[in-house]
């Protein structure tokens, strides 16, 4: 069984192999400080149990989450019961997620556990079936700790737009953790769980990852099933993992990726072992730098990302400037599609929506069918056109966000069609449907996180993960922990 004193004296032995830390960073002191992979290794070698991991997470949630509001629902007793069933000593090992405590964004259906979308409208909604991704995680042996807060119905990035209380950033309580996956971002940064899933329609996985100094991956459109996830935009929605490291992200993606014959958005493309991708050589990779995605960047963000690019130059075949095609106006896609899903409830109970959500849905009632049809057509054209960019490069490199985490009181309203001043560096890659990851690459002088975005060709998650892992191993940004926890 886990003994923190023994593990500390042994330097965490294999559990923390490769985590030689400089004095500036905190040494892991308990189970919740471990990465998903390290925790999994402890379980498999029977140096800790699923029950111990689960209890450690629940105690940490009890201690810290009142300040962060990352959770909407905590399934403590169910998690404890599942952990007892997941005991590894029986020999029925299901893989790296066996016995690992996770949590899910609360727009992902969980059978018998309420799924609210962070809205008063759905505050008592209890699905009868799991979303496909929840089912896969359950089958892989994961232990569900509960459901995580978000911007209402994933519509925007302002963490105050939720029926269940504003989510705060563990790096600074007055700063946004990003959105719409605000709860997942805060939960991983604060070590409340070992992994989670978020959704990404306009950056909602990568934005919290950048703001919370964690890893967030948006896979290729169609790589992961959306069935059983409350939709924002059928044309642009993605599900992706958030975790502490690139390796943990690969482990999660291994489980949730794959064709779902009941989800028409998924594509029947073979799923590789993403953890093996971490060993891929990167020396021959050609990187593209789209200049428009750097315009208007905060000076500290720009400096940190340029320093990251210098590291990447040494790991790859070099960096060249590239231009990317136009993406049109994706708001004319997600607006009408959101309204289509909510039309009945919005007509009957508009007062049950948060004011910001209500305004956006109301605006969509004024959209013309012709404009929507043309906007969807532009998305399809953009997804074809973007493939040309990968004739001369293998990956694209940009700042994940152009600014550090904003003050919650000053969080900008939804919007931002693409790169440039005041724009969103994430939206274009939802439109293009490309795999994109945000990883930590620095901090401002005030200690606020900065993220680097790496983007690949369609279904090239292995290449994205390979370079992200190489950069992660060449730097130490991912080892730094929030001062508040």
10 Å Cβ neighbour count for 335?
A: 25
pLDDT of residue 484: 78
Per annotation, catalytic residue among 119, 180, 182, 364: 180
Q: What share of the chain is helix, strand, coil (3-state, %, to 5)?
A: 40, 15, 45
Question: Are β-strands 436-443 and 449-456 bridged in parallel, bridged antiparallel, or unpaired?
Answer: antiparallel
Per annotation, catalytic residue among 33, 49, 204, 213: 204
pLDDT of residue 16: 33
SS3 call for 322: strand
- Does 349 participate in catalysis according to the annotation? no
pLDDT of residue 53: 97
pLDDT of residue 24: 30
- Quick one: tokens of 274? 């993403």
10 Å Cβ neighbour count for 352?
A: 16
Listed residue (191, 77, 86, 193) closest to 138, CA to CA: 86
Q: How far apart are CA 411 and CA 67, in angstroms?
A: 19
Cα 301–Cα 303–Cα 308 angle in degrees, nearest 5:
95
What lies within 8 Å, CB to CB, of 81 at 6+ separation is none
Q: How far apart are CA 221 and CA 248, in angstroms?
A: 21
pLDDT tens-place string over residues 39-69: 999 999 999 999 999 999 999 999 999 999 9
Per annotation, catalytic residue among 33, 37, 40, 105: 105
In what side-by-side order are the strands of the sheet with 287-290? 71-74, 143-148, 101-105, 196-200, 238-243, 215-218, 436-443, 449-456, 395-399, 287-290, 319-322
pLDDT of residue 359: 97
What lies within 8 Å, CB to CB, of 432 at 6+ separation is 324, 327, 382, 383, 386
pLDDT of residue 418: 53
- Quick one: tokens of 21? 């830390």
Provide, rounded to the nearest whole percent, the portion of the chain with pLDDT above 90: 88
Are 479 and 289 spatial neighbours (Cβ–Cβ below 8 Å)? no
- Does 180 participate in catalysis according to the annotation? yes
Per DSSP, which regions of 313-458 are E strands? Answer: 319-322, 395-399, 436-443, 449-456
Of the chain, the end-to-end C-alpha distance in Å amounts to 25
pLDDT of residue 420: 47
User: Could you tell me the domains of the chain?
Assistant: 4-479 (3.90.1300.10)
Per DSSP, which regions of 302-444 are E strands? Answer: 319-322, 395-399, 436-443
| Reported pTM | 0.93
Give average pLDDT by consecutive 10-residue segment, the chain, 485 residues: 35 32 38 97 94 97 97 98 83 91 98 98 98 98 98 97 98 97 98 98 98 98 98 98 98 98 97 97 98 96 98 98 95 97 98 97 96 97 97 98 95 56 83 98 98 98 98 97 86
């Amino acid at each position: 069984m886990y003994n923190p004193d023994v593990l500390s004296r042994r330097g965490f032995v294999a559990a923390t192999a490769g985590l030689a830390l400089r004095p500036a960073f905190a040494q892991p002191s308990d189970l919740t400080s471990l990465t998903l992979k390290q925790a999994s290794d402890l379980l498999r070698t029977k140096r800790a149990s699923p029950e111990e991991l689960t209890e450690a997470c629940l105690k940490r949630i009890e201690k810290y989450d009142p300040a962060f509001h990352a959770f909407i629902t905590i399934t403590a007793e169910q998690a404890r019961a599942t952990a007892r069933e997941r005991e590894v000593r029986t020999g029925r090992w299901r893989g790296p997620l066996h016995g690992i405590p996770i949590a899910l964004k609360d727009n992902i259906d969980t059978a018998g556990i309420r799924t609210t979308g962070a809205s008063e409208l759905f505050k008592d909604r209890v699905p009868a079936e799991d979303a496909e991704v929840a089912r896969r995680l359950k089958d892989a042996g994961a232990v569900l700790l509960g459901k995580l807060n978000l911007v209402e119905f994933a519509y925007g990035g302002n963490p105050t737009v939720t029926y269940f209380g504003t989510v705060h950033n563990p790096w600074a309580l007055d700063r946004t953790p990003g959105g719409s996956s605000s709860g997942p971002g805060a939960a991983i940064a604060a070590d409340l769980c070992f992994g989670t899933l978020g959704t990404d329609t306009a950056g909602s996985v990568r934005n919290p990852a950048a703001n919370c100094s964690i890893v967030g991956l948006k896979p290729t459109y169609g790589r992961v099933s959306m069935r059983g996830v409350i939709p924002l935009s059928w044309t642009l929605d993605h599900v992706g993992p958030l975790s502490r490291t690139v390796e943990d992200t690969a482990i999660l993606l291994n489980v949730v990726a794959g064709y779902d014959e009941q989800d028409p958005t998924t594509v029947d493309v073979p799923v590789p072992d993403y953890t093996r991708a971490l060993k891929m050589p990167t020396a021959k990779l050609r990187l593209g730098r789209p200049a428009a995605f750097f315009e208007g960047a905060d000076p500290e963000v720009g400096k940190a990302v340029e320093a990251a690019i210098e590291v990447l130059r040494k790991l790859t075949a070099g960096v060249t400037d590239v231009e990317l095609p136009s993406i049109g106006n994706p708001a004319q896609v997600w607006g009408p599609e959101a309204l289509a899903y909510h039309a009945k409830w919005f007509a009957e109970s508009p007062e049950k929506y948060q004011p910001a959500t209500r305004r956006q849905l109301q605006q969509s009632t004024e959209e013309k069918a012709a404009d929507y049809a043309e906007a969807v057509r532009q998305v399809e054209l953009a997804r074809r056109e973007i493939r040309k960019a990968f004739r001369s490069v293998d990956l694209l490199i940009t700042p994940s966000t152009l600014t550090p985490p904003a003050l919650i009181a000053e969080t900008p309203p939804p919007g931002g069609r693409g790169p440039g001043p005041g724009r969103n560096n994430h939206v274009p890659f939802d439109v293009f449907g490309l795999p994109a990851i945000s990883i930590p690459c620095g901090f401002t002088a005030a200690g606020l996180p900065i993220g680097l975005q790496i983007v690949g060709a369609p279904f090239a998650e292995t290449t994205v993960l390979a370079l992200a892992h190489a950069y992660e191993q060449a730097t130490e940004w991912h080892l730094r922990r929030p001062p508040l926890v």
